[in-house]
Amino acid sequence: MKALIKDKPVRGATLTDRPIPKIGDNDLLVKVRAAAVCGTDIHIYQWNEYASSRIKLPLLFGHEYAADVVEVGKNAGHFKKGDRVAAETHIPCGHCFQCTTGLQHICRDMQIIGVHTDGAFAEYSVLPAVCAWKLDPGISYEIGSTMEPFGIGVHAVSKTKPAGKKVVVYGCGPIGIYAQMVAKFSGAECVIGVDVAKERLSLAKQMGTDVVFNPKEVSVADEVNKITKGFGADIVIELTGNKNVVNDASKCLRRGGDMVLVGLYSGSVEWDLVNNVIYKEANVFGVTGRIMWDSWWTAQGILLSGKVDVTPVITHTFKLDDYDQAIQTAESASGGKVVFKL
């Protein structure tokens, strides 16, 4: 089968031929139909510090995908050949404190598909049954491949109650836009998107965000203050991963508001906790991944409601052969989601 392999500790990757993998008793063999490019995939391709400190070569990467089941492991009998599935990236151990209290997605001994195990930029992949989500017939493979990042948006927003509230989302990359869409869909009175990339601000507006701001051009805190008539935003969601943003973002928050941190920073963050968290009695929620499987059920409900069309967030599709161009497109941070169709 064709497979995109990270095989050398330098920028790039190699499309090569590999045997179709064997599965274990708890696995599914799946034929990949659509696979989306994640920030992690870009790190791996770039071979930056994040990647080189985590990844053992060679690695078949890619982890956001939808597929058809073609073989079912002995202990995975609740799936069958022909099932359409999407993949949850986090492989939980199933037995730790977190896994036994509904927090499998932050399992103590978690492995990640396409990081710790071979992934899905290939014609076939091994999907642990514990990570397989049956795709509703109403959801396409392309959309299915983005349910993983969409689920992060769902999870982030689900920490809050946006109905009738004002929500600021820092970051208009795909997950930022998903979070904005989910907040709007969940009844936010007003959703404000923040980014430095014009194309992303445009895409956010196109997808239904009420107002967008570029912090290079305006003071976001001042603008939020105006829009909220001096109250501050009820909810702030941080998705840039830029560590210089956190303190500013928390300035937008009203007293008693909710802040959700999702973006990943390199290094420590300087934060005026007294003024922006403690005196405000802010509730700050760290979010990583998706709740298994609450976030997926909610994501499915939203997608099937007929009120949200996430299709335009996929701004580019490629064949696997065009992987260089695909990943460079994603890297440019100027568009939305990049998806391989197989």
Near its own copies in 26-65, by CB under 8 A: 26
CB of 139 closer than 8 Å to CB of 123: no
CA distance 181 to 72: 36
- Active site (annotated) includes residue 117: no
d(CA 117, CA 184) in angstroms, rounded, equals 36
Catalytic residue among 14, 40, 209, 298: 40
For the CB of residue 166, give the shortest distance to its own copies in the complex, in Å. 8
Enumerate long-range contacts of 293-301, CB under 8 Å, 24 or more apart. 293/88, 293/133, 294/158, 295/151, 295/152, 295/154, 295/155, 295/158, 296/88, 296/133, 296/147, 296/151, 298/154, 298/158, 299/147, 299/150, 299/151, 299/154, 300/136, 300/139, 300/147
Binding string, 223-262, against its own copies, x = CB under 8 A?
--------x-----------x--xx------xxx----xx
**271: contact with its own copies by CB under 8 A:** yes
Which of residues 262 and 326 has its CB atom nearest to its own copies in the complex? 262
Contact flag: residue 80 with its own copies (CB under 8 A):
no
| Out of 222, 272, 321, 324, the residue judged to bind its own copies by CB under 8 A | 272
∠ at Cα 219 (217, 221), nearest 5°? 150
Look at the block and give the residue holding tokens 């948006």. Answer: 153
* Pairing of β 14-17 and β 2-6: antiparallel
Options 192, 282, 310, 320; binder of its own copies; rule CB under 8 A: 282
Residue from the set 146, 186, 209, 242 that interacts with its own copies by CB under 8 A: 186
Instruction: For the CB of residue 223, give the shortest distance to its own copies in the complex, in Å.
Output: 18
Asked if the bond preceding 58 is cis, omega within 30° of 0, the reply is yes
Instruction: Tell me the three state secondary structure of residue 265.
Output: coil
- The span from the CA of 135 to the CA of 74, in Å, is 21
Nearer to its own copies, 179 or 338 (CB): 179
40 is catalytic: yes
| By CB under 8 A, residue 81 contacts its own copies | no
Binding to its own copies in span 84-143, by CB under 8 A: 94-95, 97-98, 100-103, 105-106, 108
Q: Which of 31, 54, 197, 265 binds its own copies (CB under 8 A)?
A: 265
Backbone torsions φ then ψ of 194, nearest 5 degrees:
-130, 130
In angstroms, what is the minimal distance from the CB of 2 to its own copies?
Answer: 32
Q: Residue 122 Cβ, how far from its own copies at the closest point, in Å?
A: 27
Least CB distance to its own copies at residue 55 (A):
17
Q: Is residue 309 at the binding interface for its own copies, with CB under 8 A as the rule?
A: no
SS3 339: strand
Cis ω before 293 (30° cut-off from 0): yes
To the nearest 10 degrees (0 to 180), the angle between helices 198-206 and 174-185 is: 30
H or E segment to which residue 157 belongs: helix 147-158
Q: What is the DSSP letter of 122?
A: B
3-class DSSP state of 2: strand
Shortest Cβ 92–its own copies spacing (Å): 12
The whole-angstrom separation of Cα 85 and Cα 83 is: 6
Which of 89, 146, 180, 300 is the binder for its own copies (CB under 8 A)? 300
Q: Which of 38, 177, 188, 194 touches its own copies (CB under 8 A)?
A: 188
Q: Is 221 in the site for its own copies (CB under 8 A)?
A: no
Of 84 and 105, the one with the shorter C-beta distance to its own copies is 105
* 8/307 with CB nearer its own copies: 307
* Interaction residues for its own copies, span 146-165 (CB under 8 A): 154, 157-158, 161, 163-165
Select from 34, 122, 190, 236 the one that contacts its own copies (CB under 8 A): 190
Least distance to its own copies, CB of residue 31, Å: 22
Which residues have a catalytic role annotated?
40, 43
